[in-house]
Amino acid sequence: MELGAKVAMLYDKDSSIAYNNLQELEFFSDREGGLYPYFDEFLAMLGSDKYIMRVRGFRLLCKQAKWDTGNKIDKEIDVILQAVMDEKPTAVRQKLKALEDLARHKPALQDKIREKILSIDYFVFKDTMHSLIEKDIQSLLKVMAN
């Protein structure tokens, strides 16, 4: 199947189809830069009304850091980092994990990433999420320390 069709399937109403596609596209992005031309689409997904679309776009956007020859991420870093905070704590957790790719491949942006993640007010979520989000932040800080 062609990449454009795979990207389109991210919007599928069947969440299992969309999620499987997301995983395939992430795996593909680890090996090849073929999704980099879809950068603007992934960036646009960050503004979706649906949190799951915001997460999918964010995860794929961060995977493109390895292939970002045009420095699009550097130009849009403020928008990208603004999207880390979400109304859904599970979305915040997935985005923090996705930032590991960005931090690894864009070390020049690590100070901005660090500043943003240390400013996350995770106390707005249920108590049960506080320690989980804190662990995710610490994990990302470790990635950036290496």
Domains and CATH numbers, the chain: 3-145 (1.25.10.10)
> pLDDT for 54-106, tens place per residue?
999 999 999 999 999 999 999 999 999 999 999 999 999 999 999 999 999 99
Q: What is the CA radius of gyration of the chain?
A: 15
Helix ranges (H only) for 1-146 are 3-8, 15-31, 39-45, 51-63, 72-82, 89-105, 110-118, 127-145
CA distance 86 to 26: 21
pTM of the complete model: 0.95
CA distance 91 to 99: 12
> pLDDT for 12-31, tens place per residue?
999 999 999 999 999 999 99
